[in-house]
Amino acid sequence: MISKFRSLYNKIDRLFDPYAITQETNISRDFGMDKQPKTAKQALQMILPTVRKFDQKACLKSIVSQHGIDLHGTSAHWEFFFDLDRRKAKLTGEWALVWDDNADNYASSHIEVIVRPFPPADSPLRHMVQEGHLLYRQLAGMWKQERERRLDLPGRFRDTDVALADFSQQGLDVTLTEFSLSTGYSPDGRLCWIAQTRYKTYYVAFAQVPRFHR
């Protein structure tokens, strides 16, 4: 009996949360003859219009290039991870160049955006809410905890062509070394671009440190 009442309350609470996303959505788009690798900021600009269709205030949480960057600070593949706060969902945006084996060159670029509700649509937690074994408002509390698990990245940051010089000064040769690039924190707690090779990790400031004038 209690679970039936909870199930009813959950349906009412859900009606008062109309912006929450409940089903996974996938969007792909091709960009024709755009064949140039991009810096992180350039690729982000390709993704943002689609992201903002879901949430104008989407919060960027992480940036990743599994194949690092080249000597121009660009990459052929970027992944961006967002929290859609009001929509209670996570969004992954991927920008990538498509390789043409016949031409032995890049053919075009495309983006793919995947939006997943939190928790996922097929999560046991959602079944518990439907059956009245868990309150819908408890999902909201879980989402708040998830939002706070990682800080939002600042909207203004040092692009990868700028960070490249700092990595080079630390001894990373991007033309000879395989590495991944991502955002994260250094051991002393600084928000950084992180280049991870097989044997060594390099840290470069992600955001510009403000200067204070006396």
Per-residue pLDDT, 67: 94
- Residue 58 tokens, joined: 């989407």
Instruction: With a cut of 70, list the residues of the chain below it in pLDDT.
Output: 1-6, 8-17, 209-214
Per-residue pLDDT, 137: 81
Per-residue pLDDT, 127: 75
Own/partner contacts of 92-100, CB < 8 Å, gap of 24 or more, are 92/116, 93/47, 93/50, 93/51, 95/38, 95/43, 95/46, 95/47, 97/35, 97/37
Per-residue pLDDT, 211: 47
C-alpha neighbours within 13 Å on the C-beta side of residue 20: 17
Query: Which residues neighbour 171 within 8 Å (Cβ) at sequence distance 6 or greater?
Result: 202
Per-residue pLDDT, 2: 55
Per-residue pLDDT, 213: 42
Per-residue pLDDT, 13: 56
Per-residue pLDDT, 58: 97
Bridge partners for 60 per DSSP: 82
Per-residue pLDDT, 148: 93
Per-residue pLDDT, 214: 41
Per-residue pLDDT, 140: 86
Cis peptide before 37 (omega within 30 of 0): no
pTM for the model: 0.89
Tens-digit pLDDT profile for residues 175-188: 999 999 999 999 99
Tens-digit pLDDT profile for residues 203-214: 999 997 654 444
Return d(Cα 18, Cα 174) in angstroms, integer.
47
Per-residue pLDDT, 176: 92
